[in-house]
Structures are given as structure tokens and as C-alpha cells.
Structure 1
């Protein structure tokens, strides 16, 4: 698991990145796989990445997620806790079953962070087709090879559905019912956003602890970070900061 030093370093870098950005997501994923090269991280399927981010969040901050959303039907503000342990789907297969439709057969791979980075600046329609082209390993119509960027719109649409089916963990969500209007909804969970918000809160609290203990005892940041949470809290109380 990531050390407090690694967590603070990631937080410091992440502050300079746009909120909810893909770069910040990849940065957080590096905490889940310490020591792994960036190229390897970028090549991990999105569902696997998000499941690992959720596992990291559980390891660092516990199993309970505090969720706050507005009901899309009546606008009521809903606050509730969710058990994060059962949200992520099982890891996807390395290579999914080919898409077959009529005389078409398309072998494809799953979406990775590298793919999303590559298409992020295009228009919505262009991104969809460009992403499809990147995912195609081999496309044939009636036995004749077809380039991934020459697929008809119908096959591009079916390919998008096949990719989503093959990697269900890429769309983590949970069902709930509004207590005010009884509307049923399915709410997506952005594992990176939840993890970042809690990392941000933890980092600011930790730096405040470092400041208080450094002022009281002359300790360095590594000295404070080396303390267990229980011992740190005890020293803060002794120094009058509890």
C-alpha cells in the first residue's frame, strides 16, 4: 500500500492538475501500483484501473462511502452511506469474445487510460470513431479485412456496446430510491473523484498535524509521518492540539 510520503507527493502533484482530469486519475492509479512504470499503468483496462482505485480507497479510508446527490426527479438532496466492497465488477478477460454481426467479425481489446488520453481533445463524434479504431485488433466482413477506421456507424455502435459489456467495472454504479418521491435511479461512481476528495482532506489534515508537532517538538515531516495515527494523535493532545 502507498506510504504517507507517496500519498503527500501524489496530492501535491495532483493539485496542479485539472479537477476530475484523466491525468489525476492516472496519478492516483500509480498509488495503487507503486513502482510500476507509467507505460504499464496507461495500458491497464479502465475497469481494472477503477476497481484498483476502489480497492485502494477501501485500504486507505475504509469500506463506507458517504454519498451526496440531488434527486433528478424532485431535486431533494440525498445523503447516504454505501458499502464499497461490492461495487466493482470482477476483472475483465484479457481479450474479450469477438463481436459478430451478420457477415462481420471484429476482434477488439478493452479501453485503457492511454486510449482515453489519445482521443480526449476530439469532438464527441470523432472521439467515438477514433476510439473504436484504436480498439480494433482485426475486423473482417465476409472474410475480407477492413481497417478499424473504416467501420460503418452501425458496427461502431455495436462495438461500443460490446466493449462496455466486456468490461463492466469501467462503469461502477449503484441503484437507489429517493425517499421523498420514490424515484428509482442508477448513480455512477467515479472512483478517482471519491479517492481524490478523501486524499485531499487527509493531506490537509496531515500537514496541519506536521505543523503542530514540528512547532511543539521540532520534529521534521518524516518524523511525524513515521508515527502511527494513534501515537500522532496522542502527541497532538499532549501538545495541546487535540
Structure 2
């Protein structure tokens, strides 16, 4: 669980994840949000969202690209938005062509060594059969809807209604990176002007840092 002054926490997360892969960043955020290192992907997304709302508030501004016209679609995720809770984290059993096939929910470890391979969820299943794959994906989504977070949006530029998938951990990481880079700039300014250390500056609340930054410009 990430604890401590918000500035030092954000910089610490950014330092650990700035050269990491997306899968490694997902694991970092999961652990910072209180989950185990090999959490399910749904639990990892929920943990990352807890980090986001804890340090940046419940409502989040976002921008996605319209696939129809290429325009940027700006929107605000409501304060009550979060990746849905799982219905179960137990193994699933689906019936397919008279056989009972057991699936497990995907985990962070499934992403660590290259592209996701669904055979890890059920090694002997019929993944090359499109009908089975569709049935398996539906069962997994029913068990944990957070595996795919769809957003219903409308593009003002081309008046197109659309559904886009939110990459939760990618979104959270982008917000952390943005905040960390801005904080580094603030630290550099305040350290030069007042002679304070990084620890002293990052221990301040964002409001307190803003007060001193404003004073510098007057």
C-alpha cells in the first residue's frame, strides 16, 4: 500500500516504473494499491484506480482519439466511475460440445513474457475454435467485468457515437507520469529559489507548493 506525502509517493512510483514495461507497471500499481504481485488483471486495474482516486480525486478528465475522424474527444469520467467488481475469482467451468472445460481468470504473470496467450488459462482448450473462444471470453467477462472497461462516447466533430475500451492501468500511469514531471519542475524551481531539499518540497501538499510558487512570481 502506497503511503507517505503525496509528492514523494508519486515520484517514487514514477522512478520505479519509468523504464518498466506496461506489464511491470501494472504489477507496480497493483502492489501500491494493496494487491499481491500476481493479482488477477481485474484486481490489478481496481488497485490502480484506487491509487488514482486516492491521490488525484474521484473525477478524472481524459482524452481519446475518435476512430472515425481522428479528432480528440475530451470527457470527464464521473466521480463514481471505477472498474467493476468481480463476481468471482474462482476457476470457471464452461460446457462446450459435451465437455466441461475449466478456465482461470488471467493474472499479471500472464503478461510478463510477451503477448497474452489464452492457452495459459486452459492449456487443453479449443482456442483455435472461434465459437469456443467467444464462449470463453463471455464467461470470463461475466466473472470479472473489469477485464474490459467500455466507455460510451460521442464525437462532437463528426457526431459519431462510439464505444472505446479504457486501458485502466495505462490511463493511471499516464496521470502519474504527468504529475511526476510537473512535480520535478516545481522541485527544481523551489530548490533554486529557497534552497530547500527535494524531501522538504515533496513533503508539502500541492496547495502549499502552489503558494510558494506564486510568491516567487510576485
TM range (shorter): 0.7 to 0.9
Which residue pairs with 1:82 in the alignment?
77
Compared CA separation, residues 66 and 220, structure 1 to 2 (3 A): same
- In the alignment, is residue 6 of structure 1 matched against residue 4 of structure 2? no
- In the alignment, is residue 182 of structure 1 matched against residue 185 of structure 2? no
- In the alignment, is residue 41 of structure 1 matched against residue 37 of structure 2? yes
TM alignment of 1:155-166, pairs within 5 A:
156-157=132-133, 158-166=135-143
- In the alignment, is residue 102 of structure 1 matched against residue 97 of structure 2? yes
TM-score, scaled relative to structure 1: 0.76
Give distance in 1, aligned partners of 2:45 and 2:56: 16
Which residue pairs with 1:140 in the alignment?
none
Give distance in 2, aligned partners of 1:220 and 1:50: 34
Give distance in 1, aligned partners of 2:111 and 2:132: 16
Matched residue SS, 1:85:
coil
Which of 179, 196, 200 does residue 219 from structure 1 map onto?
Answer: 196
Give distance in 2, aligned partners of 1:150 and 1:192: 29
Give the C-alpha shift of residue 28 in structure 1.
2.4
Which residue pairs with 1:143 in the alignment?
none
TM alignment of 1:136-215, pairs within 5 A:
136=122, 148-149=123-124, 151=126, 153-154=128-129, 156-157=132-133, 158-215=135-192
Contact 1:22 1:113 in 2 (8 A): yes
Q: How many residues align structurally? A: 213
1:57-95 deviations in Å (ceiling 9; x for gaps): 122112232222332233333222221532421234121
TM-score, scaled relative to structure 2: 0.83
Flag the structure with more relative contact order, 1 or 2, with Cα contacts below 8 A and sequence separation at least 6: 2
Give the C-alpha shift of residue 17 in structure 1.
2.8
1:102-138 deviations in Å (ceiling 9; x for gaps): 32112221000101224x25xxxxx54xx33x223xx
Give distance in 2, aligned partners of 1:6 and 1:214: 19
Give distance in 1, aligned partners of 2:20 and 2:40: 22
* Structure of higher CA gyration radius: 1
1:195-238 deviations in Å (ceiling 9; x for gaps): 12221121122222222222233221111122222222223333
- For structure 1, the residue ranges without an aligned partner over 5 or more in a row are 122-126, 137-147
Give distance in 2, aligned partners of 1:168 and 1:114: 19
Which residue pairs with 1:234 in the alignment?
211
- For structure 2, the residue ranges without an aligned partner over 5 or more in a row are none
Matched residue SS, 2:189:
helix
